[in-house]
Amino acid sequence: MKLIKYPQDIVKLKNIISKIDYSNALVPNCTKELLEKTCNEALQYSFAAVAVFPICIEYVVNRLKDSPVNSQIAVGFPCGNHFTEVKLKEAEIGLDLGVKEVDMVMNISKFFDKDYTSIPSFLVDTKLLLYPNPTNDVLYLKSEIGIESQFGIRIMDSMGRTVYSENHPAYMIGDIIEINLSDFDSGMYFFHFNHLDRSGTKKIIIERGK
């Protein structure tokens, strides 16, 4: 069977390919040669993204820089049997390296065990990414979900005093919020997020160069 029978089929096929994440290099025996080949093919055929293991992401980010093909880090792949804290750290490192997309796998074994209570907890823990952490002057906030109405951000020092407070309008997936911390002293702070009946707190560290 021919995929391309009419001229318009080429347009349709290209449109389909542009929606596909290319995972050709997402294999245990991925070599530098395969990684390069995968990126070249993704650029040639205009795939949506190149998905790779965390250890390969730095090369992919640099290779796909300034191209329409996104770099994608596969976190917790393939079974998701990592601690949530480990997954968050992998995602944070990838974002620090400039990755465009994070694809995070939930704990599949718990799902098959019908331990559904772990799924909401995982989503609450991972929907907000703060990076870099520790930081010095700037903190970035990225969410893996859209937020359709106003939400609040508050930063408190180790004594519980509010040192930063701001309300933000609706948030689209992929948006990045930049928070300037240049006036803050070194130390431990707490980042608090609240939206409707949902809220959460994460610890952040500010380190100044000596």
For the chain, list residues with pLDDT below 70. Answer: 1-7, 116-127, 144-149, 170-174, 197-198, 209-210
* The CATH number of the domain covering residues in 7-122: 3.20.20.70
Of 19, 29, 37, 84, nearest to 55 (Cα)?
A: 29
Q: In the Cβ-directed half-sphere of 51, how many Cα atoms lie within 13 Å?
A: 18
> Any idea how long the chain is?
210
Residue 119, pLDDT score: 59
Q: Give the pLDDT confidence of 23-51 residue by residue, as tens digits.
A: 999 999 999 999 999 999 999 999 999 99
Residue 1, pLDDT score: 44
Domain 134-206 has CATH 2.60.40.2550: yes
Residue 66, pLDDT score: 92
Residue 117, pLDDT score: 61
Q: Where are the domains of the chain?
A: 7-122, 134-206
Give yes or no on whether 7-122 and 134-206 have one common fold: no
pTM for the model stands at: 0.60
